[in-house]
A and B are shown apart, each in its own frame.
Chain A
Amino acid sequence: MIVLNKNLIIVFTALFFISACSTTRIDEEVNAAYSIKEGDSIVLLSDSYHTGNKTENDFMDCLNKSLLKKQNQFNIISTNKFQDIFYPWFEPSTAPQKIDDLPKLLNKEIIKNKFDQLQIKYLIKITGETKTNASSGALSCAAGPGGAGCFGFAWWDDTSSYEASIWDLSQETSIGNLSASVSGTSVIPAIVIPIPILARTQSNACVGLSDQIGDFFSK
């Protein structure tokens, strides 16, 4: 009985440390020359849900935090702080959706001055989302006077696909596009205790895209 319990513990511990498989694809496109110097700032801004974009707030938070940790070459003004400072010009319903919309906004002296004051040189527009493509399996749990437990097997496929378009505010042009796409399958086997083995596609995409942005500006 003790041997069986030991084996079970080993199996569950092994399962706990196994991470689900995921595939990452990263792309980069440079359209124009650029440079960034110490003291310059960049801002990450997600495209509006008014245009059908569904970039999650937690992905934007992750990207902001990840970029902040990874580099000290330039400043990052967090998305929320930027939107508050420039209210109401970069709200979901009012922010420029295309690079062509930018000159109209920058022609307003009060906005241009604020950009200059904060030394914001690049605006990075983020689009994309995490989608569940397929899911299957069954998991059932029950509880009784003698105890509780689950039995079954469930799995699902997620794809996290995000793009970053880098806008140069002084040139009023898009200087590059970056993308990260991560696909993975998560599984939950359950024999008494359910053990989730999750493919963290969104956090991997966040790490991938923040690495790319950092690399882009360090070249």
Chain B
Amino acid sequence: MNTKLILSIFIVVLSGCTSQQITISSSIPVPLVVSNSDLRVTSYFSANVTDYQFLSDDLEKTNNSWQINFQDTQKSIFTIIVNSFFDNNDISDNFDNIPENSTDLIMGITLESFEFLTPQITSNSKYSVWMKYKINIYDQKKDLIQNWSITGYGEQLTGSFEGNDAILNAINIALRDVGANLTIKLENDMQELLELVK
């Protein structure tokens, strides 16, 4: 019995498999933009934005498996951005629950892809993270008027970071980049949006 136990422990140690668990709880500053108080906006988020948990089975398997719990971080970040542009922003559970003509503009946000590379995969000393979101914009009749792709990228050298801090930082940078790119897109296309919902 003892021999079997020792052998099992030995095999587990030899295989070198580890499971990395990360919880994301970052935020972004309130964007420096001019807000609009005339427009009524309603936002809704897909399930993979409100509470996303990434498991590395989705990617090519390496010796390490990853569990990344985003909690509601993505939703909070998008809410900060939309609130900074529109004083009257409501949040709905889903698209179907929003009555027609109850709002001037509807924004639906979905996570399309989350990818990352580790130093182990690329044989360099940095973590790289990509995120891509689809943003559908509808008018008060719930007709689709715009369809945007917003991406974010973050990289972090392992350097003096301990444990999972380097990948955590790369994810936080990527989320911050998503926020920056959405803000710039909204800023650049605001006039066109206002024309479309007139």
**Chain A interface (Cβ within 8 Å of chain B)?**
49-50, 56, 58, 84-89, 91-94, 110-111, 114
17 contacts between A and B (CB under 8 A): A49-B155, A56-B157, A58-B159, A84-B29, A85-B29, A85-B32, A87-B28, A87-B30, A87-B31, A87-B179, A87-B180, A88-B31, A89-B32, A92-B177, A94-B180, A94-B184, A111-B32
Q: How far is the CA of A111 from the CA of B184 in the complex (A)?
A: 13
Q: How far is the CA of A56 from the CA of B180 in the complex (A)?
A: 21
> Which residues in chain B, 165-180, are within 8 Å of chain A measured between CB atoms?
173, 176-177, 179-180
Name the B residues within 8 Å of A92 (CB-CB).
Answer: 173, 177
Sort chain B's interface into a size bin: 20 to 34
Q: A85-B32, A94-B184 are in contact. List 7 more A-B contacts (CB 8 A).
A: A84-B29, A85-B29, A88-B32, A88-B180, A88-B181, A89-B32, A92-B173
**Chain B interface (Cβ within 8 Å of chain A)?**
28-34, 153, 155, 157, 159-160, 173, 176-177, 179-181, 183-184
Name the B residues within 8 Å of A94 (CB-CB).
Answer: 180-181, 184
A50 touches B180 (CB 8 A): no
Name the A residues within 8 Å of B183 (CB-CB).
Answer: 87-88
Q: How far is the CA of A84 from the CA of B179 in the complex (A)?
A: 12
A91 touches B32 (CB 8 A): no
Q: Which of B33, B159, B160, B181 contacts A93 (CB 8 A)?
A: B181
B32 touches A110 (CB 8 A): yes
Name the B residues within 8 Å of A85 (CB-CB).
Answer: 29, 32
Shortest Cβ gap from B117 to chain A (Å): 14
Name the A residues within 8 Å of B160 (CB-CB).
Answer: 58
A87 touches B181 (CB 8 A): no
Q: Which residue of B lies closest to A92 (CB)?
A: B177
Name the A residues within 8 Å of B173 (CB-CB).
Answer: 92
Q: Which residue of A lies closest to B184 (CB)?
A: A94
Asked if A114 meets B180 with Cβ closer than 8 Å, knowing A49-B155, A93-B153, the reply is no
Q: Which residue of B lies closest to A89 (CB)?
A: B32
Name the A residues within 8 Å of B34 (CB-CB).
Answer: 110
Q: Which of A56, A93, A111 contacts B177 (CB 8 A)?
A: A93
Q: Which residue of A lies closest to B182 (CB)?
A: A88
Name the A residues within 8 Å of B181 (CB-CB).
Answer: 88, 93-94
